[in-house]
Amino acid sequence: AIRMTQSPSSFSASTGDRVTITCRASQSINTYLAWYQQKPGKAPKRLIYSASTLQSGVPSRFSGSGSGTDFTLTISSLQSEDFATYYCQQYYNYPYTFGQGTKLEIK
């Protein structure tokens, strides 16, 4: 199975900060990568798919990049509603796999 490794696992930041989360695949997945946001007690929400395509309705401060094995999710200016846990997922090959998650906390 393809292993997805996110870094950091947790991170403290302030509103207005620029934040980057990285995700590395154990083998090439082309651009078959999605990013999700999950808030406590809620279902995940897709933010980005195909590595860099913004989901409709998601604020433009979110962006994704990368291909092959290395990917990033960037939030250009953190807002209070962005404090959550973020997951990457590859959907290139079965079994599809998620990263372990990055918990973004308020500093």
Partner 1 sequence: EVQLVESGGGLVQPGRSLRLSCAASGFTFDDYAMHWVRQAPGKGLEWVSGIPWNSDSIGYADSVKGRFTISRDNAKKSLYLQMNSLRPEDTALYYCAKGSNEYSRSSCDSWGQGTLVIVSS
Q: How far is the CB of 16 from partner 1 (least distance, A)?
A: 28
Q: In what order do the strands lie in the sheet with 19-25?
A: 4-7, 19-25, 70-75, 62-67
Q: How far is the CB of 100 from partner 1 (least distance, A)?
A: 5
d(C-alpha 93, C-alpha 83), whole Å: 30
Q: Which residues bind partner 1 (CB under 8 A)?
A: 1, 32, 34, 36, 38, 43-46, 49, 55, 85, 87, 89, 91-92, 94-101
Largest CA distance in the chain: 38
- Burial group, residue 67, by CB count within 10 angstroms (0-12, 13-18, 19+): middle
Q: How far is the CB of 89 from partner 1 (least distance, A)?
A: 6
In the complex with partner 1, which residue's Cβ is closer, 19 or 99? 99
In the complex with partner 1, which residue's Cβ is closer, 17 or 55? 55
In the complex with partner 1, which residue's Cβ is closer, 20 or 55? 55
